[in-house]
Amino acid sequence: MAKNPVPRGLPTRRERNRPNQGVPLVRSSRTVPRILTPDEVDQLTAALRTHRDRAMLAAM
């Protein structure tokens, strides 16, 4: 990049290894989780071997 996208004066967090240099607090964009299709759910449950694994998946 030719220009620094972080504006001056942005709050920083200091690292222990480099106390004189701050790390800019820049937020990254978050993505929405992808929802499984019914066919993918069926494939997932069919791949589980034990009742314990199925119970853990059902609890999630």
Helix (H) or strand (E) holding 38: helix 38-47
Averaging pLDDT over each range in 1-5, 23-27, 52-56, which range is the top one?
A: 52-56
Question: What is residue 25's predicted lDDT score, i.e. its pLDDT?
Answer: 61
User: pLDDT higher for 40 or 2?
Assistant: 40
Residue recorded with tokens 């607090």: 25
Q: How far is CA 37 from CA 32, 33, 40, 44, 59, in A?
A: 15, 13, 5, 11, 18
pTM summary value: 0.45
Q: What is the pLDDT of residues 10-53, one digit of tens each?
A: 555 555 565 556 655 666 778 889 999 999 999 999 999 999 99
